[in-house]
Amino acid sequence: MLLASTVPAVATSVPDSANPIDHIVSNMTIDELIGQMTWTYVYGNSADDASMATDNQARYGVDTPREVVEKFDLGGVLYFAWSNPGIVNDPELAAELSNGLQAVSVGDEASGIPLATTIDQEGGIVARMGAPMTVLPGNMALGATFDAALARAQGEILGSELAAVGVNADFAPVVDVNTNPANPVIGVRSMGEDPQNVATLGVAQIEGMQSQGVGAAAKHFPGHGDTETDSHTGLPIVTYDRATLDQHLVPFEAAIDAGVDMIMTAHVIVEELDPEMPGTLSPEVLTGLLREDLGFDGLITTDALDMGALKELPDNPLDDGDIAVLAIQAGSDILLMSPDVPATFEAVNAAVESGDITRERLEESVTRILEWKVERGVWEEDPSVPVDEVMDVVGSAEHTATAQEIANRSVTLLRNEGDLLPLDDGQSVFVTGWGQSGVPNLAQAFTDRGVEADHLYTANFPNAEQIAAAAEAAEGHDAIVLMTHTPANTAQTQAQRDLLAALQATDVPVVHVPVRNPYDVAWENPAPAQLVTYGYQRPSLQAVADVVLGTVEPTGKLPVNVPTADGEGVLHPIGFGLGYEDEEPQEPAQRYGFFLTNGWKGGDADYAFQYGRHTDEVLVGDWDGDGRDSITVRRGNQYFVNNAPTGGPAERVLTYGKADDVVLVGDWNGDGTDTLAVRRGATYHVKNSLRSGDADHVVVYGREGDAVVVGDWDGDGRDTFAVRRGKVYHVKNAIAGGDADTVFAYGRESDVTLAGDWDGDGRDTFAVRRGRDYHVSNTLRGGEAEQVMRYGRESDEVFVGDWDGDGRDSIGVRRTPAA
């Protein structure tokens, strides 16, 4: 424990100038440092619950959660259904557990520092807490919507509900790119196979979660999506080349750019990086790649150290102490779920004594942990949460409706021979197949909608007798809805295939519904109708019933490629999905992001993509001098530059000016490349290159309250300023003070003004926006508009740029979720 005589005013006192973090850390003992790095589970439903004393004694040598926290000065705890069973369906108990453990941790017998209270609450098949917490369909279902707004909403739901029960970090989202259909451990926990879609949705989830005060952890670095071994039981090894690895890194790079709090490691050997050690224990992976190459400065946490992979290293048997030492040497800050905590303390102490680990190395990680606790709001005077407010947040009508929207929009129709779906009114349904609770729940969903529905659960892996019983029970119905679930065992998969074949042999048409991985649809002799849900939670089953009956249109699109049965080709590509109204599958629709057009005719966008965060300030310019404008986003005084209308990670990041500066973009010196100027009142600080440092020009022009527009007004290749006062424009042709070169009136005082070269003559002029209508003038004079175009929506945020490099500017809009 941290004694008051050693570290002044630590207990419940947030670090300040009189007691900074570096002072606190420098006064810790080695055991106290190890304790802050140790995040593990404790058995019991309250701090003083001794009902699971046998389990606590076996692992920690004490009886209660309180005693575990005090004995080891733990830095964090991790909740599970099997260690804290009361949390599963009782959010108020979870809040009380969090409050009790925090009170212990800030007390005199423990560290005096609040705990990281953590959980794996991904949504879908990995959710330690169930209803009345909001039940979410899962990540691959989210991936099938291709909707970043829904992803952010999912993150906000997870964050707000976990914060309400006192959880301050969620080991989510999974940003692994699931490229291997045989992956036994990721699968539908992934948002799909397209790195960019995973990155976009992953960033949106992270931002949503962290906006609610809960730290997110992108996992499993450097990628667990192309493995055929479950790292819980064995050691996965991937042999792909660097180009393939780089695709798996795309979501992690995006997460880092988005400011993710933590990254969790993978117990996977990536031979391209380190042929001997899994990522969790590899300095090349954690320090070389993650810290140095990708520039991540947040918290690195191991995956659970009690997983089987770490005991399976070829010709390199490791004990539990060895594993902890190697994880620290590799670069991890957090030792998650050490299988033998006393052995961890003993081994790390020995490594410090021998010089294999320095005290400075431990202090580095603990400093990072404590800084996170302060920045994330964990370390407060009172870290408790109001238990009486929990039920006002969890499972709210709004959250439940969002979960159902994700499910409804995820259901993917892959086959519909003879227009079997939707079913006609009055038709009866027989539900059977996988899922002891799923089969009756789906049948009940049909019954609730006025449909005559019977059901028979056949066992997850039915034998011949059970298959025959299902086929017999199906007779006399108008349709069979068969739920399947691909297991890892080939023989068990065959049992479900045999059930499908037997049902196909009846006279009743079959609707095949894989309720986990979508790859089941490639089985031989496919059913006439196939619907993929990517999950078997209640929202997904409700959505299946509605889609089968036609009250919800199937709009989901595959977020993965579905291979042919022999694995040699692609049966259905990413983005495939049928609708009841469409003869041909449509591309996934994008609701939010950037929509750019290359002309002045209205209609659909020429480019649609996601980039940055919804709250970013957007700047448009030709950053590399190729003649095409693209998007840069600003966060404070940091600028994330992208040179193409494609979304994805920034190509360059620079720092300039102050966070509260007004920023303008222009080609100030006529070299063909746009750079920045910042405005402070009537003073402009102009920069001629995209780098940090002092301004190249400082000029005073106009008045402090003027609205400012940038353009090349005389066609000399250099941008300058114009100021607007009402509907009067004062145009300047040089970066200098003094009087305007041209003054004229145009439009109305209430107009939104845009500047661009609309006709390609090299000179910028004005367009004014009124709602969805744009009134364009090609000369710097008053009078009527020469062209009027309608584009986008009234609520769109509008930008001007030459997106295709043809010399003419046009319109781009950004749509973001409502605040």
Q: Write out the DSSP string of 463-504.
A: -HHHHHHHHHHHTT-SEEEEEE---S-HHHHHHHHHHHHHHH
Cβ pair 713, 761 in contact under 8 A:
no
| DSSP-derived 3-state class of residue 350 | helix
Cβ pair 370, 25 in contact under 8 A:
yes
Helix (H) or strand (E) holding 641: strand 638-641
- Candidates 122, 104, 101; CA nearest to 45 is 101
Cβ pair 144, 558 in contact under 8 A:
yes
Cβ pair 769, 747 in contact under 8 A:
no
Q: Is the torsion defined by CA of 194, 199, 200, 206 positive or negative?
A: positive
Amino acid at 774: Y
Which parts of the chain have pLDDT scores under 50?
1-12, 818-819
CATH number of 593-815: 2.115.10
CATH of 21-381, one of 2.40.100.10, 3.20.20.300, 3.40.309.10, 3.30.470.20: 3.20.20.300
Q: Which residue has the tokens 């599963």?
A: 88
Q: In angstroms, rounded to a whole number, what is the distance separating the alpha carbons of residues 479 and 429?
A: 5
Cβ pair 276, 321 in contact under 8 A:
no
Q: Which residues pair with 685 in a beta bridge?
A: 678, 698
CATH number of 411-572: 3.40.50.1700
Q: In angstroms, rounded to a whole number, what is the distance separating the alpha carbons of residues 646 and 196?
A: 10
Close Cβ partners of 325 (under 8 Å, ≥ 6 residues apart): 347, 348, 351, 356, 357
Q: In angstroms, rounded to a whole number, what is the distance separating the alpha carbons of residues 702 and 705?
A: 9
End-to-end CA, the chain: 44
Cβ pair 19, 58 in contact under 8 A:
no
Cβ pair 105, 53 in contact under 8 A:
no
Cβ pair 362, 30 in contact under 8 A:
yes
Q: Which residues pair with 219 in a beta bridge?
A: 174, 264
Joined tokens for residue 662: 């007004």
Amino acid at 347: A
Cβ pair 357, 325 in contact under 8 A:
yes
Q: Which residues pair with 216 in a beta bridge?
A: 170
Cβ pair 687, 656 in contact under 8 A:
yes
Joined tokens for residue 692: 């940090």
Joined tokens for residue 591: 């609701």
* Dihedral angle over CA of 655, 260, 215, 285, nearest 10: -130
Q: Where in the chain is the domain with CATH 3.40.50.1700?
A: 411-572
Joined tokens for residue 366: 């603990």
Q: In angstroms, rounded to a whole number, what is the distance separating the alpha carbons of residues 313 and 269?
A: 9
Helices (H) and strands (E) counted in the chain, each on its own, are 19, 40
Q: Which residues pair with 745 in a beta bridge?
A: 728
Q: In angstroms, rounded to a whole number, what is the distance separating the alpha carbons of residues 177 and 202?
A: 11
Q: In angstroms, rounded to a whole number, what is the distance separating the alpha carbons of residues 218 and 262?
A: 6
Please count the CA atoms within 13 angstroms of the CA of 100 that sit on its side-chain side.
18
- Phi, psi values for residue 565, rounded to 5°: -60, -35
Q: Where in the chain is the domain with CATH 2.115.10?
A: 593-815
Q: Which residues pair with 725 in a beta bridge?
A: 728
Cis-peptide, bond into residue 20, ω within 30° of zero: no
Share in percent of the chain as helix, strand, coil (round to 5): 30, 20, 50
- Phi, psi values for residue 419, rounded to 5°: 50, 45
Amino acid at 404: Q
Helix (H) or strand (E) holding 246: helix 242-257
Q: In angstroms, rounded to a whole number, what is the distance separating the alpha carbons of residues 674 and 194?
A: 32
Joined tokens for residue 400: 């439940």
Give CA 194 to chain center in angstroms. 14
Q: Where in the chain is the domain with CATH 3.20.20.300?
A: 21-381
Q: In angstroms, rounded to a whole number, what is the distance separating the alpha carbons of residues 623 and 675?
A: 7
Residue 647: its pLDDT value, please?
58
Residue 39: its pLDDT value, please?
98
Residue 346: its pLDDT value, please?
98
Joined tokens for residue 247: 């695709």
Q: In angstroms, rounded to a whole number, what is the distance separating the alpha carbons of residues 301 and 332?
A: 6
Close Cβ partners of 444 (under 8 Å, ≥ 6 residues apart): 453
Beta strands in 5-71 (DSSP E): 38-40
Q: Looking at the annotation, which residues are catalytic?
A: 232, 303
Beta strands in 257-367 (DSSP E): 262-265, 269-270, 299-301, 335-336
How many residues are listed for the chain in this entry?
819
Instruction: Tell me the chain's radius of gyration from C-alpha atoms.
Output: 30
